[in-house]
Structure formats: structure tokens, C-alpha cells
Amino acid sequence: MTSRFNPHAAEPRWQAAWEEAGSFRANDASPKPKSYVLEMFPYPSGRIHMGHVRNYTMGDVLARFRRMTGHEVLHPMGWDAFGMPAENAAMEKKVHPGDWTRQNIAAMRAQLKRLGFALDWSRELATCEPDYYGHEQALFLDLFKHGLVYRKESAVNWDPVDMTVLANEQVIDGRGWRSGALVERRKLSQWFLRITDFADELLDGLKGLDHWPDKVKLMQENWIGRSRGLRFRFAITGDVPAGQDMLEVFTTRPDTIFGASFAAIAADHPLALALAERDAALATFADECRRTGTAAAEVETQEKRGYDTGLRVVHPLDPEWTLPLFVANFVLMDYGTGAVFGVPGHDQRDLDFARKYQLPVTRVVATTADTADEPIHDEADTRDGVIVHSRFLDGLKVEEAKAAVIARAEADGWGQGTTVWRLRDWGVSRQRYWGTPIPIIHCDSCGAVPVPKDQLPVVLPEDVSFDVPGNPLDRHPTWKHVPCPSCGKDARRETDTLDTFVDSSWYFIRFASQPDDRPFDRAVAEQWLPVGQYIGGVEHAILHLLYARFWTRALRRTGLLDIAEPFSGLFTQGMVTHETYFDTDEAGRTLWYAPEEVERTSDGAIARSSGLPVTVGRVEKMSKSKKNTVDPGPIVDQYGADAVRWFMLSDSPPERDLPWSEAGIEGAWRFVQRLWRLTEANDAPEGEDKDLARKLHRAVAGVAADVEALSFNKAVAKIYELANAIEKAAPSATRTGAAETLIRIVAPMVPHLAEEAWARLGREGLVADASWPEVDPALLVDDEVTIAIQVNGKLRDTIMAPKGTDRPTLEALALGSDKVLRLLEGRTPKKVVVVPDRLVNLVA
RNA sequence: GCGGACGUGGCGAAACCGGUAGCCGCAGCGGACUUAAAAUCCGCUUCCUGAUGGAGUGCGGGUUCGAGUCCCGCCGUCCGCACCA
């Protein structure tokens, strides 16, 4: 009698059973080895999307597998609940950001629960609740106390749409990462975290992260951007503004110092500002420099331009030698000292600039001393070589010359070897309501005073309005007026809130330990940390992952937690993609069609509404703008959680994009039903099936290895193979046992079906609590192997031979093959290559 | 421009250390069961050829008894950074 697995009935039942048994509660006191599996927590937008489903399914398989292999697993879930969308919703729909967020959380929690994830919901947290952000405020104050927080007036990236400041990391091609608006420069007093104090550590720490993708490590390395070089001073001659008679520059190429033909400063350089006050033409030029955007296309096409200040700088190695000083549009105030010297022979920008302003171009590095006078044309020569035309440096290699110049500068006192970083301190002030209030009080007498810890949390006021742009905290009638904690006089609360990336910089610690009276218990947190496997999108390769690494190291410096790296293992999963469908209207606009609006045919697609063909576009990341999203909700309704989970793991390697398809989910559904049929009760047949036993043990070992490596697609293929083998096998005791084992190894992937089948097989307890099947190593090796017979490297025949057959025997067997004899036509092979248990290659 | 990844059937892909290319799935084709359909089951499915056979892992070279895998040079796609001195 065949039956069908009914996910709609079974899934809620087993979810309730797990909940009742507390199966997925992590026990801090467990003697078992600890395993912390974490997926990046979601922003509560209101609905989960396929990307979440894929992300959490991967983590879930690993978490369940670890439980089966004897680990105490921590697999928590929470909500990255502060941020702009809640405020946008407040402005558009007149709902309070808190209400909107909490409703979204409730909806998404229900959706996640339907997918049957093995999560410890007892540790759920939302960053927007005072019992989370209050502890964050305490940590902020600890960092403050240790000098890792400071306030400074600085030019900031101002997003005119979101009306807030953005960190450098949040500006992409000159636009706000969220709003897409062109970012403006403004001067504001801002709070900063001293991430640059940790630049060396953060860079060097990458080396130890063996279980991180190289790509992410490289991205962080480039972002931190360490450059070693020489910082030195030029004396300035001419009509120099008061107190500006020295110009400090930074170079990574001190070896080329005798190739210098000019010096240049940024338009915002203090010297340029001073000069502009008395030189209207310069002021105009500087304005033009500031106006030009930093967008990729602009930078690439933009001409190198400069303004000759008329001043000259004295070459540090020759007081008789002076160079012109320009204000130039390609010099950045943000990097190094905002001033450079130009060596046109060996730097493309400098060369472009020198050609334009007819400055001398001298070769000072040549491949060999013989080519010292080879002219430089349109391309700067950046190759390694020996120094030429450079007085005492002549004949030195580039690296030797760098050291020699630095040594000379240090000895003579005009410069020193130094390191500069691309990384900037992290500006965390946001002029927003829906974020963690910065626990500082501004007092006219005492300055910025930390809120005393016993007055934490500083709670967001509920009664705020969003009818005008800007920060509702700032215009709240009473909230900001408080007495100074230090002197008691009238003072003002800081009305900026923290960047939401602060919230996500320590949530994984709070998951590990959540006492009421402090952010975490050090001993308990250290039992779990670092996170053994962290899984999320590669879009967080820099921002979130760098900030979290910094925060963890900052906590170590304050003595609160002795963990250097928060995530020992990182996996960045690919996106879920879908075909796109579109046509073009009379006006040439592209009209997108949602998947449910088109009917896929064998050679294209037609719109259901009109019956007319539409173009099948590229397979792309699911996005609202291209309408190629598939909502997981209805899919789970139709096929159940297990089929969706199975599909998420099938086919595509997890780091690559997964193309969603109707056919794919259908296939997953069929397999779930097939598994169900495989465990159909039969009347206890006797007998052994050695061949099947081998396949079984190989599958168990293979799937375990694949899951450990997060190669879920390979594990899935092995499970299919095993299922095929079991189906084909004649009834036997082995076959009956194999079906049960199969259920255990699919349990992490399709847990509801596994429970249902487990119960049907009459097994005690939950398969969620079962252990991973034992593997008999003896059954992993074959006793007979296929030997490939090649002639001149081409496959001509195969033969079976007992494993371990010696070389002479294999050679003899190969020479006995009819096909081989025919090809050799009586000749004796010149050479015979024998690879035991693999092949014989006869070279004729 | 700099840095990185990738390129294998109609599609998603697999291939340990250089050793039988294409496991597994999807789609397709043929068949069984059925009044029929769905579901299920069996078989075929890289390309060319009727078969024997030949070709084949983006392109061109190289190393090797043997290359998807290693080396050199191209082409293409994607990602990150971007005037970083």
C-alpha cells in the first residue's frame, strides 16, 4: 500500500515536538564539545525572501549534523532591527517604527518557524529593544573609557535624502549605499571609534583566518590598505603664508626622490586654503576640484589639472634644487598628508600632469644600468630595476634605495619611515531616531559626559513625529533636556544614534551569553566563541565583518572578553537568482513580467495576460525592480518546508548562485515523496547484500565529509545515488537497514520527513536526537577495481582486477586485451606505465 | 587602471594528489501501467558517423607516458577597489 507524505500535516506536528522536547536549546553547561553555527541575522523587512531561506537552510543542515555527531550546538536567531526602512515606513504609512518593526519580526518569525529550522529561540533578541541596546550603550561607554571613542569636527559624507551621515564604507561611487543619492561634504561634530588603532592587528589577524574565503580576506586587506613609505618635509620658498613654511608629503617610492619634478597639494590642504584667501583664481580652481565627483567614470576620464601656486619647495637632498608647487585635482586630502611630490618617469598620473604643464621627465629607475637613458614616452615605467641618475643611489636596487633614502632622511632629520593606512576611523553618529541612543550628555561646563551606567539604558522616547525630515530626537520637546550627571546643571543629551553596524558588531556575543545586568558573562561567552561557522552574503565582506572584528578586539583591549577573532569560519553563500521576462512598449521602455505572469514554453515564454511572446532575459539576482522574485511563503504552502530546503541544497555549489526554477522545486518534491516510499514497511526480509552495504557506508562517509565542507550539492548527489541503489536492490536485511540509515543521513536536510519516516519505522525518540550512523572503514574499500587500459594515453579497454594487483600482473593483463593486441599489431610497447589500481598505459 | 574569481553537455553541475571527462539532478526522447490524465516504473540522452570509429572541458602554445587539473600567452564573463602618492 503506497501512501504520500503529507507535509502540511506532518511539519507542524514535528515542529511542536521539537519545541516541546527543547531539542535545540543550547546548554551552556554541557560537557560535549561546543559548536557555534550562526547565519547573519536578518533585517526585519516584513517577509523572508529566498536568500534567507537558502542561508538559513545551509546553517541548519550544519547545525543539525553537528548535533548528530555529538556536539552541543548553539544555533540562535535574532533581528537586526534598527535602521532606516522603519523610519521610511513611519513617514510613508504613519506607523511608529517600533510597531512596524515588531510586527515584521512576528511575521518573519512565523515564516522561519514554518521552515523547521533547528534554532534556539530561547535566545532570540532584537537590537531595537532596550534590553539589547542598553547593553550596547554600556559597551560604548567602556570603549569611551579606554579612549577608543572620540568626538571630532570633521568633514563627513552627508546623505541629503536620508538626511544622515554615512561612513566611508557606506559611500559607493559617491552615492549613499542605501538611498543612492549623491553624497555631499559637510562639517559636523561626530563620534568616532578608533578602528585605525587596530589597523595592524586587523590586517595581520587575517593571516590566521584559515577558514575564511581568500576573496574576503583580500577585500579586507585592500580596504585596510597598508602602505609603507617615507613621510618627509619640504621647505617652502617664496611668499609663504604665516606658519606654512614646511610641506609634509608621503611617498611609497622614496627611491625615486631624484626623479621629482614638482610637488602638489590637495585643494582642501591647509596651505591651499590659506593661499586661496589671497588668490581668487586659486579659490575658483579649488572649488572646481571639489565639485567634481568621485564616481568611477568621472575619475577615469577626468583630466589631471593643476594650479601653479608660484611657490617652490626645496629638494631635501639638494638645497640648490627647487621644484614648483601646484594645487592639483588628483591629490586627495584624505590620504597620506594630502600632499605629494611628482615623479613623472615612474608614475602615470605624475607623467600625465608633467606633460600637460611641461615639467621635466627624468628616468631614475632602469631595468639595467645600460638602459639608463632610455626615454620615457607616454607610459610611466613602473617596473622594478636599478636606480640611475640619482647621485648616491645609483646602482642600488629599488628596495635598497628605498631603505637608503629613509635612513638618510632619519639621520638628517627631515623625514621618517612610516606606514599609512587607507582605513579611516569609524564615524558612528547618525542623525536618526531609530537607532541606539549614544549615551552621552553635553554640558556647557563639563563637556561630553558619559551617562552613568546605573542610568542605562537611555531609552528612545516613544512619542515622536516623522512629518518633517531630520532627526525626531533632536526636535523632541523634552527628551534631550537632562541635568549634567557631573555638575547637575542643565545639559543636553546627545541626539545622534549609533550606526546600526554597531548593533551587529556584537550580537553574536550576546547570543552566547545574555545576563540581565551586563552585556554578557565573559566565561560563558568564551565557552562558545569564536563562532565556528558563520554564514552569510558576500555583500558583508567588508563593512559588517570588519566592524565585528574590530569590536571584538576592542572588547579584548578593554578586558571584557579575551577573544581576538569573532568568526573562525566564514562562508559566503551565493544568491538565489531567477530568469527575467520582459518586453518593450511603444515608448521603448522595458516592461518586466513576474514569473507567475508568464508561461514558459520550450523555446521561450509568453505573457499569460496577452498570449504574446515575451523575451526571456538573463538569470539575475531576485529583485523587485525586475520582478523576478519568488516569495517563499506560497512555495512552502504548496510543497512543504522539506522540499524547499532540499531544493536550496541541490545542484548549485553553495558559494555560487542558485537559479530558482519551478522544475527544480518539482524535482525536490518528487524526491521527498520517493524517500517516503523507500521507508514503506516490508516484512523483515533476511539476508545480506554486501554490495549495497558498501554503497551505504560509502554514502554515509561521503555525505558527512561533504556536509562538513558545506558542499551540500555533492552530499545531495550522493544521497540520490544511495536512494537509487536501495531502490534497485532486492529485499534483504541490509536493504531494510539501509533505508533506516538513509533517513538518518537526510535528517539534517529534510527533518520533518525524516521524523515521520523514523516514527513509521518504529524507532524510539526523535531522529533529531539520533546519532550520525557509524561507518565501517572496511566497507569503504573495494576488493575489485576497474583498471583503465590506455595505448598512447588513449583509453582502449577496461579490465577488472582484484585491488592491490601487482604491476607485472596488471601489465600482463593489459597486454592480453584483444583490443590492445589489435592496436599494437604485433609491436612491443616501448614503455609501459602502470599505476596500481588505476591504469596501464602502453606507449607504442 | 589595479586586484580577484570563473569559463566543462540543451541547463544546474561532478571529477581525490596530473590517471576511464560528464556522478547526481533538470529538461528532452522512447516504452510500461492507465479508457485517459496525473502519479509511478523501465530505457536512452556530450557531439559527429548507420555501426566500427573519431572529436571533445573558452582559444593558441608548452611540460608529461598521460592535462578539465600544471606553465606561458590570448579571449570572454562576473565580483571588489578606484586619482591611495
Nearest nt (C1') from A668 Cα:
B25
pLDDT at residue A213 tops 70: yes
Confidence at residue A154, expressed as pLDDT on a 0 to 100 scale = 77
Q: What percentage of residues in chain A have a pLDDT greater than 70?
A: 97
Contact A334, A424 (CB under 8 A): yes
Higher pLDDT, A729 or A610: A729
Helices (H) and strands (E) in chain A, counts: 26, 37
Nearest nt (C1') from A800 Cα:
B20
Spatial neighbors of A631 by CB under 8 A, at least 6 apart, are A47, A49
Contact A532, A35 (CB under 8 A): yes
Confidence of residue A199 (pLDDT cuts 50, 70, 90): very high
Confidence at residue A121, expressed as pLDDT on a 0 to 100 scale = 97
**Calpha distance A332→A334 (Å, rounded):** 5
**Calpha distance A437→A494 (Å, rounded):** 8
Strand B closer than 7 Å to the CB of A819?
yes
Confidence at residue A805, expressed as pLDDT on a 0 to 100 scale = 87
User: Looking at residues A465-471, what average pLDDT do you find?
Assistant: 80
Class of domain A226-421: alpha beta
**Calpha distance A493→A475 (Å, rounded):** 12
DSSP string across A291-346 = HS---HHHHHHPPP-EEEEEEEEE-TT-TT-EEEEEEETT--TTSTTSEEEE-GGG
Higher pLDDT, A47 or A584: A47
Nearest 10 degrees: CA dihedral of A829, A830, A835, A841?
A: -50
Nearest nt (C1') from A838 Cα:
B19
Q: Which residues pair with A34 in a beta bridge?
A: A72
Confidence at residue A602, expressed as pLDDT on a 0 to 100 scale = 64
User: Looking at residues A186-194, what average pLDDT do you find?
Assistant: 89
Strand B closer than 7 Å to the CB of A356?
no
Confidence of residue A793 (pLDDT cuts 50, 70, 90): confident
Strand B closer than 7 Å to the CB of A393?
no
Contact A143, A558 (CB under 8 A): yes
Spatial neighbors of A153 by CB under 8 A, at least 6 apart, are A187, A188, A189, A190
**Calpha distance A24→A842 (Å, rounded):** 59
Nearest nt (C1') from A343 Cα:
B85
Q: Which residues pair with A249 in a beta bridge?
A: A232
DSSP A434: S
Alpha helices in A193-269 (DSSP H): 199-205, 214-224
pLDDT at residue A301 tops 70: no
Residue type, A138: A
H/E stretch holding A164 reads strand A164-166
Confidence at residue A308, expressed as pLDDT on a 0 to 100 scale = 94
**Calpha distance A649→A52 (Å, rounded):** 13
**Calpha distance A169→A224 (Å, rounded):** 11
DSSP string across A747-783 = TTTSHHHHHHHHHHTT-SS-GGGSPPPP--GGGGS-S
CATH of A578-668 given 3.40.1710.10, 2.20.28.290, 3.20.20.80, 3.50.50.60: 2.20.28.290
Task: Tell me, yes or no, if the pTM score tops 0.90.
Answer: yes
Q: Give me the interface pTM, i.e. the ipTM.
A: 0.95
Cβ-based contacts (< 7 Å) between A 730-759 and strand B = none
User: Looking at residues A278-285, what average pLDDT do you find?
Assistant: 92
Tell me the per-residue pLDDT of A370-382, one tens digit each, with 9 for 90 and over. 888 888 888 888 8
Query: In this structure, are strands A125-126 and A78-79 parallel, antiparallel, or unpaired?
Result: parallel
Cβ-based contacts (< 7 Å) between A 653-712 and strand B = 653, 656-659, 661, 663-664, 666-667, 670-671, 673-674, 711
Contact A321, A258 (CB under 8 A): no
Tell me the per-residue pLDDT of A109-131, one tens digit each, with 9 for 90 and over. 999 999 999 999 999 999 999 99
Q: Which residues of A define the annotated binding site? A: 624
> Worst-scoring range by mean pLDDT, A71-80, A492-501, A776-785?
A776-785
Cβ-based contacts (< 7 Å) between A 542-561 and strand B = 542
Confidence at residue A606, expressed as pLDDT on a 0 to 100 scale = 83
Strand B closer than 7 Å to the CB of A223?
yes
Q: Does domain A782-843 have CATH number 3.10.20.740?
A: no
pLDDT at residue A296 tops 50: no
Q: What percentage of residues in chain A have a pLDDT greater than 90?
A: 65
pLDDT at residue A293 tops 60: no
Residue A676's nearest CA partner among A1, A4, A201, A125 is A4
* Bond into A530 cis (ω within 30): yes
**Calpha distance A57→A67 (Å, rounded):** 15
User: Looking at residues A533-541, what average pLDDT do you find?
Assistant: 92
**What value, to the nearest 5°, has the Cα angle with vertex A426 and ends A422 and A432?**
140
Residue type, A56: Y
Confidence at residue A813, expressed as pLDDT on a 0 to 100 scale = 87
Higher pLDDT, A167 or A651: A651
For domain A135-194+425-500, the CATH superfamily is HUPs (3.40.50.620)
Confidence at residue A465, expressed as pLDDT on a 0 to 100 scale = 87
3-state secondary structure of A77: coil
Fold for domain A7-129+501-573? Rossmann fold (3.40.50)
Alpha carbon of A798 to those of A783, A794, A843: distances in Å?
16, 12, 16
Residue A56's nearest CA partner among A420, A496, A535 is A535
Nucleotides of B under 7 A from a protein CB: 1, 3-5, 11-16, 19-21, 23-28, 39-42, 53, 55, 65-67, 79-85
Confidence of residue A686 (pLDDT cuts 50, 70, 90): confident
**3-state SS string over A694-716?**
HHHHHHHHHHHHHHHCCCHHHHH
Contact A751, A119 (CB under 8 A): no
What is the CB neighbour count within 10 angstroms for residue A180? 11
3-state secondary structure of A825: coil
Confidence of residue A65 (pLDDT cuts 50, 70, 90): very high
Strand B closer than 7 Å to the CB of A250?
yes
Contact A696, A738 (CB under 8 A): yes
Tell me the per-residue pLDDT of A561-617, one tens digit each, with 9 for 90 and over. 999 999 999 999 999 999 888 888 888 788 888 888 888 776 677 888 888 888 888
Specify whether the backbone of A741 is left (phi greater than 0), alpha (psi in -120 to 50) or beta: alpha
Cβ-based contacts (< 7 Å) between A 313-332 and strand B = 329-332
Confidence at residue A571, expressed as pLDDT on a 0 to 100 scale = 95
- What would the CATH number be for the domain defined by A683-779? 1.10.730.10
Strand B closer than 7 Å to the CB of A226?
no
Confidence of residue A295 (pLDDT cuts 50, 70, 90): very low
Is the fold of A7-129+501-573 the same as that of A135-194+425-500? yes
What is the CB neighbour count within 10 angstroms for residue A239? 10
User: Looking at residues A644-669, what average pLDDT do you find?
Assistant: 93
Contact A360, A354 (CB under 8 A): yes
pLDDT at residue A466 tops 80: yes
Confidence at residue A558, expressed as pLDDT on a 0 to 100 scale = 96
Nearest nt (C1') from A653 Cα:
B13
User: Looking at residues A741-757, what average pLDDT do you find?
Assistant: 96
3-state secondary structure of A531: strand
Task: Report the residue count for chain A.
Answer: 844
Q: Which residue is nearest to nucleotide B64 (CA to C1')?
A: A793
A727 CA, B31 C1': Å apart: 20
A796 CA, B57 C1': Å apart: 20
Confidence at residue A570, expressed as pLDDT on a 0 to 100 scale = 95
CB-based burial label for A820 (10 Å; 0-12, 13-18, 19+):
buried
As a whole number, the mean pLDDT across chain A is 90
pLDDT at residue A1 tops 90: no
Residue type, A28: D
Domain boundaries, chain A: 7-129+501-573, 135-194+425-500, 226-421, 578-668, 683-779, 782-843
Alpha carbon of A759 to those of A271, A731, A752, A764: distances in Å?
80, 21, 11, 7
H/E stretch holding A151 reads strand A149-159
Contact A314, A325 (CB under 8 A): no
What is the CB neighbour count within 10 angstroms for residue A235? 16
| CA dihedral sign of residues A544, A454, A476, A491 | negative
Tell me the per-residue pLDDT of A8-20, one tens digit each, with 9 for 90 and over. 999 999 999 999 9
Tell me the per-residue pLDDT of A326-350, one tens digit each, with 9 for 90 and over. 999 889 888 889 999 999 999 988 9
Confidence at residue A611, expressed as pLDDT on a 0 to 100 scale = 81
Confidence at residue A297, expressed as pLDDT on a 0 to 100 scale = 47
Cβ-based contacts (< 7 Å) between A 409-428 and strand B = 422
User: Looking at residues A666-693, what average pLDDT do you find?
Assistant: 88
Could you tell me the three cell numbers for A771? 546519532
